[in-house]
Amino acid sequence: MAELSAARSAHPAPRRRALRGHVVPLALFAALALAPLAAKLGPEGYILSLLTRVMIFAIAAVSLDLILGYGGLISFGHAGFVGLGAYAVAIPMSHGSTEVFVHLAAALSACAVFALVTGAISLRTKGVYFIMITLAFGQMLFFLATSLAPYGGDDGLTLPSKSLVFGARVFRGEGAFYYVVLAVLAGVYLLCRAIVGSRFGRVLRGTRENAVRMAAIGFDPFRYQLVAYVIAAMIAGVAGVLLANQAEFVSPAYMTWQRSGELIFMVILGGLGSLHGAILGAVAFLLLEEVLAGFTEHWKLIFGPLLVVIAIMGRGGLTGLLPRRRDA
């Protein structure tokens, strides 16, 4: 018994590291869960709408981090899947289909098929060529959306209402919709965490480090990267469904390469290879954008350099600042 106790006390560091690894995400989700209570002290509708939008883009950022942070795949067309999810709500709704599960099925199917086809082509390339080909596919979706004149074309399309859940207007109330989005964000985070911690996730990280070595020991990097690419696309499609319901409007602007670039920066800002870092990056990016826009109409002149400074000084993103602060 004494030897067992000594063995347990000899390795306390892994337990402490594991515990610390849960503190930040738990605090983050607790803050988001309690935010509606604090919103009652101010303009409640505005705050809830802003935070709901932040969480939706956090879902998209987490999906991108799965392939960027853990797979090393820099996709400049990831926003295209968000746009596909949004149009999977708008197009059926314009034909009278208002059920959210129909919209989800359409979004997941469209994103999975498009990701499977384009991913099979894109993953034949590497480095800057992969970036450019994903950019090309993303822009292809953008120009396709602008050409859909019956669904608003370049002007976008206003939805007649939010999606229904078995005929009920569950999404109608801002507070109810907020917690639906929070629940989806938590589910996506746990799903991606399970994927990363699984054998599949370990192989995916191995392909990021050395694809040739992984192939030499019997794993097919192409197959694992393609599956991860499809999963990330489907999660981004779910974010698109929520975004369409939150704004009650869809537009080709959801699919632009600039939006993809913003998602990449959210992941880098929060910390590559850290799922809760992607959420933190989305929160910091969008809230900082909102605050600066309230001061001046030339807020981008401040926002751009400020983000660059944060990225340079905070190696490992915002989550990377915490260990260094403790070490200091």
Res 327: pLDDT:
37
Q: Is residue 262 in a domain?
A: no
Q: Is residue 273 in a domain?
A: no
Q: Is residue 49 in a domain?
A: yes
Identify each DSSP E strand in the chain by its residue range: 157-158, 249-250
Res 36: pLDDT:
87
Highest mean pLDDT out of 144-148, 182-186, 204-208, 286-290? 182-186
Res 37: pLDDT:
85
Q: Is residue 307 in a domain?
A: no
Closest C-alpha to 244, from 166, 145, 138, 168: 145
How many structural domains compose the chain?
A: 1
Residue pair 107/88 in contact by the 8 Å Cβ criterion: yes
Closest C-alpha to 299, from 310, 312, 286, 318: 286
CA distance 290 to 285: 9
Q: Is residue 171 in a domain?
A: yes
Question: Which has more pLDDT, 221 or 44?
Answer: 221
Find the domain containing 53 and state its range. Answer: 44-255
Res 293: pLDDT:
81
pLDDT of 170 over the 70 cut = yes
Burial group, residue 59, by CB count within 10 angstroms (0-12, 13-18, 19+): buried
Number of H helices, E strands in the chain: 13, 2
Counting every residue written for the chain, the total comes to 328
CA distance 28 to 226: 31
Residue-by-residue DSSP string for 263-311: HHHHHHHH-TT-HHHHHHHHHHHHHHHHHHHTT-TTTHHHHHHHHHHHH
CA distance 40 to 281: 25
Res 271: pLDDT:
84
CA distance 129 to 23: 39
pLDDT (mean) for 220-247: 94
CA distance 271 to 56: 18
Tens-digit pLDDT profile for residues 277-317: 899 989 988 998 888 887 877 777 887 787 777 767 656 67
Q: Is residue 293 in a domain?
A: no
Any idea which residue has 């396709």 for tokens? 144
Res 39: pLDDT:
78
Whole-number mean pLDDT of the chain? 86
Q: Is residue 214 in a domain?
A: yes
pLDDT of 142 over the 90 cut = yes
pLDDT (mean) for 272-277: 86
Residue pair 148/88 in contact by the 8 Å Cβ criterion: no
Res 6: pLDDT:
47
Q: Kindly report the pTM of this predicted structure.
A: 0.89
Start-to-end CA span in the chain (Å): 37
pLDDT of 212 over the 90 cut = no
Res 311: pLDDT:
67
pLDDT of 7 over the 50 cut = no
Burial group, residue 45, by CB count within 10 angstroms (0-12, 13-18, 19+): exposed
Residue-by-residue DSSP string for 98-145: -BHHHHHHHHHHHHHHHHHHHHHHHTTS-THHHHHHHHHHHHHHHHHH
Residue pair 82/240 in contact by the 8 Å Cβ criterion: yes
pLDDT of 324 over the 70 cut = no
Highest mean pLDDT out of 196-200, 214-218, 322-326? 196-200
Tens-digit pLDDT profile for residues 69-105: 899 899 999 999 999 999 999 999 988 888 999 999 9
Q: Is residue 289 in a domain?
A: no
Any idea which residue has 């509708």 for tokens? 45
